[in-house]
């Protein structure tokens, strides 16, 4: 089992094109850990903003009467992919992994696969 710091380092090291990663509490919008932030991209601001994305999607699903759970949410920009993976299980309730990828270098299918594996090893 990996702690937050180890899991985020693993994401950055093992996922091709990864530029930054965070573990975020979407009930508060607070990042519990970040790695790879730069002057041009603040992961704490992105973490807080993406909590609104999750909340909006959950509200929409509720209004539609959908009973399924969100696995991940993908946001594609012209030069980046932003992957939001909600943690499953009791210990991950209210948390998500957030990954920023360079669109030119990333393989989305492999990134999703690796992030799912990292989630499975994460102990919060």
- Average pLDDT per consecutive 10 residues, the chain (124 residues; last block may be shorter): 89 95 94 85 92 95 94 96 88 87 96 94 86
Position 86 in a domain? yes
Position 40 in a domain? yes
For the chain, the domain total comes to 1
Position 78 in a domain? yes
Question: In this structure, what CATH number is given to the domain that contains residue 83?
Answer: 3.30.450.30
Position 111 in a domain? no
- For the CA atoms of the chain, what is the radius of gyration? 14
- Closest-CA residue to 115 (of 11, 26, 37, 31): 11
Q: What is the pLDDT of residue 92?
A: 64
* pTM of the shown model: 0.92
Q: What is the pLDDT of residue 39?
A: 74
Position 121 in a domain? no
Interhelix angle 4-14/108-121, rounded to 10 degrees, is 160
Q: In which domain, by residue range, is 86 found?
A: 8-102
């Amino acid at each position: 089992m990996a702690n937050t710091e180890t899991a985020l380092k693993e994401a950055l090291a093992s996922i091709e094109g990864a530029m930054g990663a965070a573990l975020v509490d979407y009930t508060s919008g607070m990042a519990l850990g970040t790695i790879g932030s730069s002057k041009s991209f603040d992961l704490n601001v992105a973490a807080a903003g993406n909590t609104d994305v999750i909340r909006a999607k959950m509200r929409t699903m509720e209004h539609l009467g959908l009973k399924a759970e969100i696995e991940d949410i993908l946001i594609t920009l012209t030069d980046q992919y932003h992957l939001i993976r909600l943690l499953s299980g009791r210990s991950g309730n209210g948390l998500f992994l957030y990954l920023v990828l360079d669109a030119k270098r990333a393989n989305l299918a492999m990134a999703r696969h690796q992030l799912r594996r990292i989630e499975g090893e994460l102990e919060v």
